[in-house]
Structure 1
C-alpha cells in the first residue's frame, strides 16, 4: 500500500529543475494529491512530469497514463474546434450565430455574433430558471432552451463567463456546420490526428485510470446578496453544480464542452501547443496564422459580470490581465484554466506551451497558488 509520496516521475531538462522542485515540494507537503506538468517549447518537451496519487487514501499512484476531469480547461479545446472551422472558411466570427443556428435569433438575439459566444459576451451564460445542473446533460433540450431565451445583458457590451454552457453554444454551432457533435469532432479532428489522450467526457473503458477530482473548500460568491436579475446569480443558480458530480457516470457520459474534458498535462499540451507553434504540430496543421491572429482581437476588458474579477478576452481565449493573474506575463500570450487551478498557457513569442492538470482542487475562481508557482518557475527558467 502506497503512503509516502514518491518523487515526481518523467523527464525534466536540468535547466527547468526549479519546476521539478516546485512540483515535488507541493506533493511532499500534501498541497498536491496528484498532478501532471508539461512544458513544450517549439515541439521540444523540456518538462513532462507527473506524481502523487489518484485517490485520497493514497493507495494508487498517479502514473503516466492517468487522466482527470480538467474542468474549464475543456473550453480551450472547444474554442480550438470552432477556430478550425473558421480557418476552413466554414464559420465567420463576425457573422450572426443565427446564420448557422437559425433558432438562436429568438428573443432579441438576431445580432449576436459568433465572436460574442467565443468571448463570453453573448448575454447567454446559463439557463433561465427553473433549471438544475443536471438539465445540461440533456444536450438537445438544454441547447434549444438557450436558443429560445433572451440575453441577460446587452450582447457585446461586457463579458459574463459562460461557466457550464460554453460547450453547448459553441458545440451546437460546430454541429450545425460540420455535422458532428462536439465530442465526436474533438475525437476525430483534433485528438485523433494529434494522437492526444484527450476526450470530451470519458469513455467507460477509461474510467479505471481516471483520478477522481477532490473538491476545494466551499467558495462564497455572495450570490444571495445579488439582485434576481444579476447575471452571476442566474448563471450559478442553474448551472453551477458541485465538484463531486464530476466523478459520476452521468457526468462522464455527457457532452459538456465547457467543463467535462478528460486528459492530463501531456495531452492538453499536445492539443493546445498548435497555437504556440504556429498552427501545426508534427505535420498536422489545424490553424493558419490569420486565424491565430484572431485570438488576440480583444473583445472585452473589465470586471466579468459572472465571476466578478477583471478579465480580458480575445476570441476563444483569455489574454493577460495583470490585475487578476500577475504571474502570467504580458505579451502575445493566450490562456485559460479550470476550476481548482488547472492551467494551459500558450506563449507565441517563445513558442512555448505550459500545461498543468491535477485532481485536488484549490480554492479560487481561476488559477491557484500552485499554478502560479509552477508558471513562475517556468518563466524563471527560460529567461
Structure 2
C-alpha cells in the first residue's frame, strides 16, 4: 500500500499501487465538489486496497475525521436489511415465495394476503406510504409502526409494479426479522452480520459508540465539471414538490422529518434509513457478500448473491419517477444509480453514502460523508469515486 498525500484537503490514508485515481478523485471532491468530511474504502478479492479519509468529523466543526469516524448512511442501510432477509432464506428459515402474512398474521389485512417476502425486497409490496404519517417518536416504536403498516391498504396490486419503499422498508423488513427470529432487527444484525465480520456498522447505535459518530449537515457544492447527477426532469421536480404525490408521501411517511443528529434517533433501529457505519464497515460488509474477506468468512453463497444481483424490478418507479432497477433488496447498475458495471449490486443513501459489490471484478466499495446533498441517488462525489475506480481497474 502506498501512502496517500497529506497536503490537499487534509486527506490521509493508503492506496494500493494502481488505485491512485481513486485518491485523486477523493482529493478533487474536497477541492471542487464541496466535500466537508468523508471516507472511501475499497476491497478487492477480500483485501483492502483503498482506505482514505479527510476533512472534519462534523459538517460544521474543526475536529478532524479519523479512521474510526462513522456516519449515518441513510438508505445505504437497506442493503444490510436485505442481507438479513436473504441470509434467513439461505439458512432455510424464510421462504422468499411465502406470503408475509405467514410469519406476520396481522399483515394480511386490507388485501395484502398475496404480498410475498420477495415483493418486500424488490419494492413491489405496494406499501411505500402511509395514510397517516408517523411522528418521529411513533416511527421509533417498532410495535406501533409495525401495527400501522399491517393495517395499511396497498397503493397498487402487490407484485404487479414497483415503487421505492423509502421509509416503510424499515418496518416491513424489521418486523419480518423479528417474527422469524424472535430478535429485534438491530440485535440480529449485530450478532449475525456485524459481529462475526468485525464491522464498524450498527442499526441501532450502542451508547458507547456515540462519540465516534459525526454530525450531518446540508451542503451546497459548487457545480463541478464531470459531476454526475440524475438528469433533472420536470416530472421529477413536480413529484417532489406535490404534497399529494406518492413520491412526497413515501419520503414523508415520518413527519416531521426526524433529526438525524438526535441521539434517540441514532439509538433506534430503522433498517431503511438510520444505519451508521464507517466506509470500511460498509465496504467490508459488501466484500463478505461476494467472497471471503480478511479476518472473516463469506456471508452469501453464490446462489444468494445471484438473488441480490438478478433484476426483479425495472422501469418507471412509482415513487422515484425515473426508471430504477432492483434485485432482491439491492439497487442494480443503471441510470438512476450507476455502480461499477452490469453485475454490481448495492445501495445509495439519500444525500451521499454508497455501498456496493461487483462480483465480476471482486470489488466492494464503501463511501460515507457528513455533507448531505439534495439528490436521492447518483451523488456527484460518490460517482466521481466510482468512475475513478473503474479507471483504475
Normalising by structure 1, we get a TM-score of 0.91
Query: Is 1:121 matched up with 2:124?
Result: yes
| 1:231 positional shift | 2.6
Q: Write out aligned runs for 1:67-216 (5 A).
A: 67-129=70-132, 131-216=134-219
| 1:112 positional shift | 0.3
Q: Write out aligned runs for 1:19-58 (5 A).
A: 19-29=22-32, 31-58=34-61
Query: Is 1:238 matched up with 2:256?
Result: no
Task: Give the corresponding residue for 1:300.
Answer: 313
Work out the CA distance in 1 between the residues paired with 2:293 and 2:62.
Answer: 40
Q: Secondary structure at the match of 1:238?
A: coil
Normalising by structure 2, we get a TM-score of 0.89
Q: How many residues align?
A: 374
Task: Give the corresponding residue for 1:346.
Answer: 357
Contact 1:199-1:262 at 8 Å conserved across structures? yes
Work out the CA distance in 1 between the residues paired with 2:286 and 2:261.
Answer: 25
Q: 2:366 aligns with which of 355, 359, 368?
A: 355
Q: 1:289 aligns with which of 291, 302, 316?
A: 302
Q: Which runs of 5+ in 1 are unaligned?
A: none
Work out the CA distance in 2 between the residues paired with 1:196 and 1:172.
Answer: 23
Work out the CA distance in 2 between the residues paired with 1:224 and 1:358.
Answer: 24
Contact 1:274-1:281 at 8 Å conserved across structures? no
Work out the CA distance in 1 between the residues paired with 2:339 and 2:189.
Answer: 28
| 1:7 positional shift | 3.2
| 1:222 positional shift | 3.2
Work out the CA distance in 2 between the residues paired with 1:281 and 1:126.
Answer: 40
Q: Secondary structure at the match of 1:245?
A: coil
How big is each residue's C-alpha offset from its partner over 1:146-178, in whole Å with a ceiling of 9 and x where there is no partner? 011110111112221111121211111111111
Task: Give the corresponding residue for 1:366.
Answer: 377
Contact 2:36-2:370 at 8 Å conserved across structures? yes
Query: Which stretch of structure 1 is more off in the superposition, 19-28 or 175-184?
Result: 19-28
Task: Give the corresponding residue for 1:324.
Answer: 336
Structure 1 runs, 4 residues or longer, greater than 3 Å off: 4-7, 130-134, 219-228, 279-283
How big is each residue's C-alpha offset from its partner over 1:293-336, in whole Å with a ceiling of 9 and x where there is no partner? 21233221111111112101111111122x324x4354221121
Give the root-mean-square deviation of aligned CA atoms.
Answer: 2.3
| 1:5 positional shift | 6.5
Work out the CA distance in 2 between the residues paired with 1:101 and 1:270.
Answer: 32
Contact 1:139-1:168 at 8 Å conserved across structures? yes
| 1:57 positional shift | 4.2
Aligned in 2, Cα 1:99/1:12: closer, same or farther, shift over 3 Å? Answer: same
Aligned in 2, Cα 1:318/1:6: closer, same or farther, shift over 3 Å? Answer: closer
| 1:341 positional shift | 1.6
Query: Is 1:268 matched up with 2:271?
Result: no
How big is each residue's C-alpha offset from its partner over 1:228-256, in whole Å with a ceiling of 9 and x where there is no partner? 4x4324323332654x7110122112111
Q: Which runs of 5+ in 2 are unaligned?
A: 1-6, 221-231
Q: Secondary structure at the match of 2:43?
A: strand
Q: Secondary structure at the match of 1:108?
A: coil
How big is each residue's C-alpha offset from its partner over 1:164-214, in whole Å with a ceiling of 9 and x where there is no partner? 121211111111111111000011111110011110132222222211111
